[in-house]
Structure 1
Amino acid sequence: MLLNEHKSKTLFDKAGIPVPEGYAVFPGEETAFKPDFPLPWFLKSQVLTGGRGKAGGILRIDDVADFSKTARQLFELKIKGHTVPFIRVEPGAEIVREFYVSLTVSRERRCILLTIGREGGVEIENLGADNLLVQEIKLPGGLAPNQIRAAFFHLGLQKEQLKEFATLLTNLFNGMLDNGLLMAEINPLIMTPDNNFIALDGKVEVDDNYADLTPEMETLYQREHATPEENIARDAGLSFVKLPGWVGLMVNGAGLAMATMDLLNFSKLPASNFLDLGGAADQQRMETALELLFGDNQVKAIFINLFGGILSCEKVALAMQGALGGNAPQKPIVVRMSGKDAESGLKILKELHVDNLHMAADMKSAIDILDTLKPTDAQVVDFPAPMDQAAGTRPAPTGYENDAVFGIDKHTPILVQGITGREGQLHTRLMLEYGANVVAGVTPFKGGQEVLGVPVYNSIAEAKRSHEIGASIIFVPPRMAADAVAEAAGNAIPWAVCITEGIVQHDMLATFEQIKDSPTRVVGPNTPGIIVPGQTKIGILPTTPFMPGPVAVLSRSGTLTYEVADRLTTAGIGQSLCVGIGGDPFIGINFVDMFEMIRNHNETKAVVVLGEIGGQAEENLAEYVMETGFDKPVISFIAGQTAPPGKRLGHAGAILEKGGGIEHKLATMAKAGFAICPSLEAVSEMTAKVLK
């Protein structure tokens, strides 16, 4: 959740960071505005984008009579396509020096970075490395006095200013932790003639997971920055992003949604939105989703693309039946269903016997149908063609040694953390039905009970007295899940599979730092888990898409894992193992770790890697493959290639974020000899070729 300057300063003030006095003024309020601070006044446009100063979004007035006219001028302004919903008005400040300060959660370095600049301003990222001092802050340890001193001396401040500066940095850091912030940026931090510090501008990013778990954070969300559609979707718990095309998109699972968006865009049928139903699609959600798409004049047709894994296609069809109320949809809808209950779901929709509802057997058929629905005046949105590259050569092994073994099979004894909860009980039953060796469960204060014949203990330590444990699977609510991971690692359980999503990033940062010396291999969090087809599963993966065979599937997306495994199985290609490494910014084992374990895994003859835009996971894997001479064929697919650039508020992203975007990611993978698939359809085809 990105905050504008006004809300950021509200949070800073609460944390004890000095900020200028300031008031929010909305359109229509400009004539009644009468602050009690002296002129000059600065009128500052409140938008969630950078560059407002260069765009004329900050104006100074020296006469009260100029206020209304200047305010209206800003309200009529557009800054990088963003309208100005309101302005913040502040008095002028006397400035002796300007500095830059930010605290940012770093995905790459797995810590919080404290960045200090001797100079601040709009060109901070271009002022050179000498201007900046970047220090790593590890959790749970926190900001150390020596780091404060290093920042202080970097700025060349006077000795008598150390106490105030230390208080400011300490308050900023504590405010970050107390409010679940991913970034807290002050640019500029000014020093006044009386040697006081004031945050003249501020930008904040809140962890969405923390906001979801903390209802009072909702007061910081400014609905004026979002479109009505985005607010409706947010209220309904839908993931929704507006795009410039004409095909309304409704999918379950972010990975499949990104892959489908790419398919539409590459097929010159550009998507008008990204709408992820997630794992729940009841009638109310379906009604909201359809209302959004029916009400958007830009949407000319709708593509519903579902793969039933945990989500039942039949339940989605029933929800859709209820949402339509027996009537034909207002706009053409093309439906493709596969996976769990797909046949019964499609049957329900066919039996509606209404116009404007088209069933597609597969994605290619859906694209063909959508092409016939293309309006004559459809907006043209050009995207570069997807990269399509067969497997190339890579460096031969050069004496690299490795003894790692995957080591999970039908005999692996499994413990379920959170076994007495609804999800824990459901998936314990499904794992048992698949043949998994579930030997124990843990729920505090439920020790002595049984669930599905599995004994329950109060702690892992207690369970270990009676059972050998080879792996733990975690079904614990987000607030307690990081501690559950720490408990598994503290007891040296060989594998810990954390299914839980929505964990606050600070919590996982602290936990991974605490358990870094543990032998436990953590999978996740936010993972569907592990399946060794025909032997065992430790997770929530549906079993129907999988069959035993020679191909390992490693994925950042749950839904894409099921989708691709199903395509491989249909093509007669089985899987040796499938692992969802987790969709969160901070996870345990990554692609490189898994490759280390399977390079000597005799059952694995080839590897399918399902990646996504963002992060460096795929680039790191490609570099590992080249450095170590990994000699098994690698087939890859990257979802989200046509996604709009991610949002990162403030200059901290430009200073700290690395990576060259999707082109760099694909080029690095190609250099490592990966077979790069342009579509999901190509994955099984390329896999069959490399196995010959």
Structure 2
Amino acid sequence: MLLNEHMSKALFNKAGIPVPQGLSVFPGSEETVVPDFALPWILKAQALTGGRGKAGGVLRVDDAHDFAPTARRIFGLNIQGHSVPFIRVEPAVIIDRECYLSLSVSRSRGCILLTVGREGGVEIESGGRANLLVQEIHLPAGLAANQIRAAFFHLGLDKALFGDFSALLATFFKAMLDNGLLLAEINPLVLTGDNRFLALDGKVEVDDNFAELNPAMETYYQPEHASHEENVARAAGLSYVKLDGWVGLMVNGAGLAMATMDLLNFSRLPARNFLDLGGAADHTRMRTALELLFGDARVRAVFINMYGGILSCRNVALALREALGDREPDKPIVARMSGNDAAGGIEVLRAMGCDTVHIASDMQAAIRILETLKPQDAPVIEFPAPQTALPEARPQPTGHVSTASLGIDRDTPILVQGITGREGQLHTRLMQAYGANVVAGVTPFKGGQEILGVPVYNSVAQAMRHHKIGASIIFVPPRMAADAVLEAACNEIPWTICITEGIAQHEMLAVFEQIKSSPTQVVGPNTPGVIVPGQTKIGIMPTDPFMPGPVAILSRSGTLTYEVSARLTASNIGQSVCVGIGGDPFIGVKYADVFEMLRNHEATRAVVVLGEIGGQAEENLAEYVVRTGFDKPVVSFIAGRTAPPGKRLGHAGAILEKGGGVGRKIETMRRAGFTVCSSLEEVANETSCILK
């Protein structure tokens, strides 16, 4: 949740960080609003973008009579594609000095970065490397006194200001933790003529997971910055991004949704939106999703692409039928269903008897149907057709020796943390049905019970006094899940799989810092888990797509894992192990960690890596493969190639940073000897070729 300057300053002010007095003025009220502070006034456009000053969005008014016409001039601006929903008015400030201050969560470094600059302003990085001092802050230890001193001396401030600066920085850091901020920036931080520090401009980004867990943060959200559709989707818990095409897209799971968006765009059937139902495609969400797609005049047809994992395709079809209310849909629908109860879902759709509901047997069949529905006036958006990136050469041996092993098989004793909850019981039953060796469960204050024949303990420590535990799986709500990971790691359980999604990023940063010396391998959070086909599963994945074989699958997406596994299985290519490493920005086991184990895994002859836009996970893996001379062939696929820059698609880790990066990611993988497939259809074909 990105806040505008006005709301950023409201948050700063509440936290005790000094900001200028200010008020908001909306279009139509500029003639009646009279600021109650002295002239001159500074009028600032409140648009969620940079470059406001250069675009004429920050203007000074010295005469009250000029206020209304100046405000109207700003309201009429379009700043880098953003309209101006309102302006903030502040008194002008006498500035003695400007500098820069920010705290940001660093995905690459796994910590919080404290950055100070001797000079502030819009060209903060143009002052050269000497201008900025960047220090790493690790949680849970937090901001250290020596870091405050280093920042102060870097800025070269007068000794008399040290007390005020120390208090400001401590308050700033506390505000970041208390509000779950991913970014808190003051640019510029000014020293006024009377030697006071003042946050003259501010920028704040709130962790969506933290906001979800703390409803009070909703007061900082301003719907004026989003479209009507985006606000409706947000209220319904849908992941929705508006695009420029004509095919309305509805999918379950971010990875599969990104892959489907790419397929449409590369097929010259451009998507009008990205819409991820997630794992809860209930009647309410389905109805909201259809209202969004049918209510958008630029949506000319709807593509529903479902792979049922936990989600039942039949339930999705029933929700669709109810949402339509036994009437013919306003626009043609193309539906493809696979996985959990796909036959039941298709049966429901056929029984509806709607001429405009088209059932596709697979994704390519859906594309062929959509081509027949393409309107004459459909917008033309060109996406360069992707080519499969074939490897330059296989990595050369380096003499690297690994002693790591997977250590998960049919006999691995499993502990379920949160076993008494609904999800814990459901998936314990499903794991047992697959043959998983579930020996114990933990739920605080529920010890002494027995669930599904499994004894329940109050703590992990208690369970381990009675059982040997090889792996734990966590079904614990987001508020408590990070502590559950910490508990498992402190007890040195070899593997801990955290299914929970929605954990605040600060909390996982703190946990991973605390368990650095633990031998526990943490998978996730926000993972479907681990499955060794034919032996055991420690997770929530369906079992139908998998069969034993020689190919390991590593993925950041659950639905994409199921989709590709099903395609491999249909091609008679089985899997040795499948690991969902998790879709969050901060996870435990990385691709390279699993590769280190697979080197000595005799059952694995090849590896399929299912990646996504965002982060450096795939590049880091490529570097590892080259550096260590990994000798097993790798086939890969990257979802989200056609994503709009700066938009988060589904889970928190999937965001294409401005400036691109997908091409560089693919080229780095190719140079490391990976075969990077251009489509899901090619994954099975390329895997089959390298196994021959």
Same fold (TM over 0.5): yes
Aligned residue number for residue 559 of structure 2: 559
How many angstroms apart in 2 are the aligned matches of 1:659 and 1:201? 25
Aligned 8 A contact 1:390 1:686 in 2: no
Aligned residue number for residue 320 of structure 2: 320
Aligned residue number for residue 604 of structure 2: 604
Q: Where do 5+ consecutive residues of structure 1 fail to align?
A: 649-656
Aligned residue number for residue 188 of structure 1: 188
How many angstroms apart in 2 are the aligned matches of 1:172 and 1:602? 52
- Tell me the secondary structure at the aligned position of residue 352 of structure 2: coil
RMSD: 1.1
- Answering whether residue 151 of structure 2 is matched by residue 129 of structure 1, we say no
Aligned residue number for residue 452 of structure 1: 452
How many angstroms apart in 1 are the aligned matches of 2:405 and 2:150? 44
Aligned 8 A contact 1:117 1:132 in 2: yes
Q: How does 1:335-484 map to 2 (within 5 A)?
A: 335-484=335-484
How many angstroms apart in 2 are the aligned matches of 1:393 and 1:506? 41
Aligned residue number for residue 283 of structure 1: 283
Deviation at 1:647, TM superposition (A): 5.0
Deviation at 1:392, TM superposition (A): 3.9
Q: How does 1:65-144 map to 2 (within 5 A)?
A: 65-144=65-144
Query: CA separation of 1:75/1:659 partners in 2, compared to 1, >3 Å: closer, same or farther?
Result: closer
> What code does the residue aligned with 1:475 have?
F
Deviation at 1:27, TM superposition (A): 1.2
Aligned residue number for residue 652 of structure 1: none
Deviation at 1:163, TM superposition (A): 0.5
Aligned residue number for residue 221 of structure 2: 221
After superposing on structure 2, the runs of 4+ consecutive aligned residues of structure 1 that deviate more than 4 Å are 657-660
Aligned residue number for residue 177 of structure 2: 177
Aligned 8 A contact 2:486 2:515 in 1: yes
> What code does the residue aligned with 2:279 have?
G
- Tell me the secondary structure at the aligned position of residue 517 of structure 2: coil
Any idea what the Cα deviations from partners look like across 1:597-634, whole Å, max 9, x if unmatched?
Answer: 10110000000000000100000000111111101000
Aligned 8 A contact 2:448 2:457 in 1: yes
How many angstroms apart in 2 are the aligned matches of 1:241 and 1:12? 29
Aligned residue number for residue 199 of structure 1: 199
- Tell me the secondary structure at the aligned position of residue 465 of structure 1: helix
Q: Percent identity?
A: 72
- Tell me the secondary structure at the aligned position of residue 337 of structure 2: strand
Normalising by structure 1, we get a TM-score of 0.98
Query: CA separation of 1:647/1:135 partners in 2, compared to 1, >3 Å: closer, same or farther?
Result: farther
Aligned residue number for residue 263 of structure 1: 263
Aligned 8 A contact 2:307 2:340 in 1: yes
How many angstroms apart in 1 are the aligned matches of 2:372 and 2:392? 38
Deviation at 1:32, TM superposition (A): 1.4
Deviation at 1:387, TM superposition (A): 3.4
Aligned residue number for residue 211 of structure 1: 211
Deviation at 1:675, TM superposition (A): 0.5
How many angstroms apart in 2 are the aligned matches of 1:6 and 1:141? 31
Aligned 8 A contact 2:346 2:359 in 1: yes
Aligned 8 A contact 2:241 2:647 in 1: no
- Tell me the secondary structure at the aligned position of residue 24 of structure 1: strand
Any idea what the Cα deviations from partners look like across 1:18-46, whole Å, max 9, x if unmatched?
Answer: 10000011112111111221111111010
Deviation at 1:635, TM superposition (A): 0.3
How many residue pairs match? The answer is: 684
Aligned 8 A contact 2:645 2:660 in 1: no
Deviation at 1:353, TM superposition (A): 1.1
Bigger Cα displacement from structure 2, 537-546 vs 65-74: 65-74
Aligned residue number for residue 54 of structure 2: 54
How many angstroms apart in 1 are the aligned matches of 2:339 and 2:498? 24
How many angstroms apart in 2 are the aligned matches of 1:33 and 1:9? 20
Normalising by structure 2, we get a TM-score of 0.98
- Tell me the secondary structure at the aligned position of residue 115 of structure 1: strand
How many angstroms apart in 1 are the aligned matches of 2:128 and 2:355? 62
> What code does the residue aligned with 1:295 have?
G
> What code does the residue aligned with 1:603 have?
A
Aligned 8 A contact 2:391 2:671 in 1: no
How many angstroms apart in 2 are the aligned matches of 1:527 and 1:262? 23
- Tell me the secondary structure at the aligned position of residue 20 of structure 1: coil
Aligned 8 A contact 2:554 2:608 in 1: yes
- Tell me the secondary structure at the aligned position of residue 576 of structure 2: strand
Aligned 8 A contact 1:616 1:659 in 2: no
> What code does the residue aligned with 2:138 have?
K
Any idea what the Cα deviations from partners look like across 1:391-428, whole Å, max 9, x if unmatched?
Answer: 44133212111111111000000000000000000000
Deviation at 1:658, TM superposition (A): 11
> What code does the residue aligned with 1:264 have?
L
- Tell me the secondary structure at the aligned position of residue 261 of structure 1: helix
How many angstroms apart in 2 are the aligned matches of 1:658 and 1:65? 41
Aligned 8 A contact 2:246 2:300 in 1: yes
- Tell me the secondary structure at the aligned position of residue 466 of structure 2: coil
Aligned 8 A contact 1:391 1:633 in 2: no
Query: CA separation of 1:485/1:566 partners in 2, compared to 1, >3 Å: closer, same or farther?
Result: same
Aligned 8 A contact 1:528 1:541 in 2: yes
Aligned residue number for residue 64 of structure 1: 64
- Tell me the secondary structure at the aligned position of residue 500 of structure 1: coil
Bigger Cα displacement from structure 2, 120-129 vs 247-256: 120-129
Bigger Cα displacement from structure 2, 381-390 vs 54-63: 381-390
> What code does the residue aligned with 2:61 have?
I
How many angstroms apart in 2 are the aligned matches of 1:264 and 1:207? 31
Any idea what the Cα deviations from partners look like across 1:615-668, whole Å, max 9, x if unmatched?
Answer: 0000000011111110100000000000001259xxxxxxxx899610110010
Deviation at 1:127, TM superposition (A): 2.3
Aligned residue number for residue 652 of structure 2: none
Aligned residue number for residue 661 of structure 2: 661
How many angstroms apart in 2 are the aligned matches of 1:395 and 1:103? 39
How many angstroms apart in 1 are the aligned matches of 2:165 and 2:496? 42
Aligned residue number for residue 253 of structure 1: 253
Aligned residue number for residue 573 of structure 2: 573
Aligned residue number for residue 654 of structure 1: none
- Tell me the secondary structure at the aligned position of residue 448 of structure 2: coil
Deviation at 1:385, TM superposition (A): 2.0
Aligned 8 A contact 2:500 2:525 in 1: yes
> What code does the residue aligned with 2:675 have?
A
Aligned 8 A contact 1:40 1:61 in 2: yes
How many angstroms apart in 1 are the aligned matches of 2:405 and 2:518? 17
Aligned 8 A contact 1:529 1:538 in 2: yes
Aligned residue number for residue 310 of structure 2: 310
How many angstroms apart in 2 are the aligned matches of 1:214 and 1:274? 26
- Tell me the secondary structure at the aligned position of residue 66 of structure 1: helix
Aligned 8 A contact 2:4 2:47 in 1: yes
Deviation at 1:81, TM superposition (A): 1.1
Bigger Cα displacement from structure 2, 669-678 vs 383-392: 383-392
> What code does the residue aligned with 2:242 have?
K
Deviation at 1:384, TM superposition (A): 2.1
Any idea what the Cα deviations from partners look like across 1:437-457, whole Å, max 9, x if unmatched?
Answer: 000000001110000000000
Aligned 8 A contact 2:645 2:659 in 1: no
> What code does the residue aligned with 1:350 have?
R
Query: CA separation of 1:140/1:659 partners in 2, compared to 1, >3 Å: closer, same or farther?
Result: farther
- Tell me the secondary structure at the aligned position of residue 190 of structure 1: strand
Aligned 8 A contact 1:116 1:151 in 2: yes
How many angstroms apart in 2 are the aligned matches of 1:171 and 1:210? 19
How many angstroms apart in 2 are the aligned matches of 1:79 and 1:358? 42
Aligned 8 A contact 1:391 1:635 in 2: no
How many angstroms apart in 2 are the aligned matches of 1:190 and 1:383? 46
Aligned 8 A contact 2:111 2:138 in 1: yes
> What code does the residue aligned with 2:172 have?
L
